[in-house]
Amino acid sequence: MDILFKKNDISSSTALIVGIYENLLLTKTAKKINTLLNGGLLKALKSTDFNGKIGQTQELLPTEALQTKRLICLGLGKKEQNNELTACKIGAHAANALLTGGETAVSFATDDLPAAVVGFGAKIASYRFTKHKTVFKKPVTLKEFYVLTEKPQTAQNQYEPYFAISKGIHTARDLVNEPSNIINPIAFAKRAEELQKYGLTTEVYDEKQLKAKGLNMMLGVAQGSINPPRLVVVQWRGKPEDKNTHAVLVGKGVTFDSGGLSLKPAKGMEDMKEDLAGAATALGTLQALAMQRAKVNVAAVMAMVENMPSGTAQRPGDIVKSLAGITVEVVNTDAEGRLVLGDALWYAQERFKSPVLIDLASLTGAITIALGTDIAGLFSNDDKLAEQMKKAADDSGEKLWRMPLDDLFEDDIVSDIADIKNACSTRAAGSITAATFLKRFIRPETKWAHLDIAGVALREKNGLLGPKGGSGFGVWLLDKYIRDNLETKN
């Protein structure tokens, strides 16, 4: 579905959506229509239970006086509550109202709402992953979404960055939705290379190179699979005159997590195709930054492996020496994310020496027990970074809740015969012990944030801003954090 901006005009050849605030408070366009209909709009609405609550819709029958194909009233909620996120949600409601109903075009009069953000909400709500379907139950029929505004050119310009973010979100969603027989580490690396057309640079390291470098924790996870691992390093250098890298994103990219020899139960195992969500989000974020030509240098380090049981698989009890030199006893091969990330985090710090390091990982089932499926866990060794991430989370609606990283948990990961072990004897505070393991691979000077996105990466049911499946969680949030805090203005 394309988002197009047009001068406000109520004589629309398409279906027209007009906004109405709570308690039937009319927007400018609604007032115009009401006048045209001699008060008929309000009169008609009063005979229904439509009140203007956000997302509520009411279709009115066409009349001679108003030349529109169809007229749909959309509740905008309370007028005072208008911000970027509500405008985005209203755009999504508008798109969802007619997405699959047979209309091919719709116009939405935005009046006081920021037109560009409304377009963004409509765009991400219209995403569907249909490439493997040959039969459709409810196809998306809407092809053109006209955002009606007084200043279409201004809105079009303001839409550019939102368009970039929507593309990044859709990349992340696609990569999570694709099954593991299509996206393995090599296929992921190819997708990353395709994004070079936006000005990103991509390096791909194979298993021989990883061995030479010493990423043995990552290789240990990969060794049970016939699909070899890849370390994918993507960079956006929007400030080429500056040699520094302002932030590095590290993504867990387990293209399928069977658990390895510590095999997972069959029920729900199919969801483990989502276990590359951290890498998918990191890549989507870099795409968004590149498409905006953001004046900032950001790298993404994506550790791609498949975790499988086989005759070559790593055994519970094996000891590996990490890139950082710390020896690790692998007591549970299903706690593979922290192994892969430990090496990737160390590599990222040695290579880029960036002051800010953010990792994203579908790391623990325990984070879903703690925070559910709409809020991700935030762990950080730096209060300011945590505050900045929290602000970006609140603004984008991609919610974070800060979890504790207390030295107290370090005892839980001490191994009898190696330096540390990758899992604990109890399930208590599973997300915190996982984060504590990662912390061992963070240098004291690095400001680090870890986002445990296991609960939020895969939407369980259709939502306002996107359908069931890969959510793309984190792209908008990270784009916001980076542009608000690290990008050089003008």
Binding mask 250-289 for Zn ion (x = CB under 5 A): ----x--x-----------------x--------------
- Min CB(453)–ligand BES separation in Å: 8
Residue closer to Mn ion by CB (options 40, 365) is 365
Alpha-carbon torsion 206, 212, 215, 221, what sign? positive
Which tokens hold the place of 465?
Answer: 């801003």
Residue closer to Mn ion by CB (options 70, 264) is 264
Q: Is residue 375 involved in binding ligand BES (CB under 6 A)?
A: no
Which helix (H) or strand (E) covers residue 45, if one does?
Answer: helix 40-46
Residue among 360, 401, 365, 364 at smallest CA distance from 175: 360
> In this chain, which of 103, 174, 178, 257 binds Mn ion, going by CB under 5 A?
257
Alpha-carbon torsion 83, 84, 85, 88, what sign? positive
**Among Zn ion, ligand BES, Mn ion, none, residue 423 binds (CB under 5-8 Å by kind):** ligand BES
Residue 70 annotated in active site: no
Q: Is residue 274 involved in binding Mn ion (CB under 5 A)?
A: no
Q: Is residue 103 involved in binding Mn ion (CB under 5 A)?
A: no
**Among ligand BES, Zn ion, Mn ion, none, residue 142 binds (CB under 5-8 Å by kind):** none
DSSP E strand stretches across 338-402? 356-361, 375-380, 399-402
Residue closer to ligand BES by CB (options 73, 438) is 438
Q: Is residue 306 involved in binding Mn ion (CB under 5 A)?
A: no
Write down the catalytic residue from 128, 338, 390, 439.
338
CA 392/CA 226 separation, integer angstroms: 40
Report the SS3 class of residue 201. Answer: strand
> In this chain, which of 364, 380, 396, 471 binds ligand BES, going by CB under 6 A?
364
Binding mask 330-349 for Zn ion (x = CB under 5 A): -------x------------
CB atoms within 10 A of CB 159: 23
Pair 2, 144: CB distance under 8 Å: yes
Q: Is residue 275 involved in binding ligand BES (CB under 6 A)?
A: yes
> In this chain, which of 111, 174, 207, 257 binds ligand BES, going by CB under 6 A?
257
- Min CB(258)–Mn ion separation in Å: 8
Q: Is residue 452 involved in binding ligand BES (CB under 6 A)?
A: no
Which residues touch 217 (CB under 8 Å, ≥6 apart)? Answer: 320, 322, 323, 328, 339, 340, 342, 343
Binding mask 313-332 for ligand BES (x = CB under 6 A): -------------------x
Pair 168, 284: CB distance under 8 Å: yes
Residue closer to Mn ion by CB (options 307, 322) is 307
Q: Is residue 207 involved in binding ligand BES (CB under 6 A)?
A: no
Which tokens hold the place of 287?
Answer: 């795409």
Report the SS3 class of residue 379. Answer: strand
Q: Is residue 343 involved in binding ligand BES (CB under 6 A)?
A: no
CA 393/CA 400 separation, integer angstroms: 6
Identify residue 163 by its one-letter amino acid code: F
Residue 414: strand pairing partners: 420
Residue among 137, 134, 125, 138 at smallest CA distance from 173: 125
Query: Residues in the chain, how many?
Result: 490
Write down the catalytic residue from 190, 191, 264, 321.
264
Binding mask 403-432 for ligand BES (x = CB under 6 A): --------------------x------x--
Q: What torsion, rounded to 10 degrees, do the Cα atoms 23, 28, 29, 34 define?
A: 60
Residue 173 annotated in active site: no
Residue closer to Zn ion by CB (options 254, 280) is 254
Q: Is residue 377 involved in binding ligand BES (CB under 6 A)?
A: no
CA 101/CA 464 separation, integer angstroms: 16
Q: Which parts of this chain interact with Mn ion (CB under 5 A)?
A: 257, 334, 336
Q: Which parts of this chain interact with Zn ion (CB under 5 A)?
A: 254, 257, 275, 337
Q: Which parts of this chain interact with ligand BES (CB under 6 A)?
A: 257, 274-275, 332, 334-337, 362, 364-366, 423, 430, 454
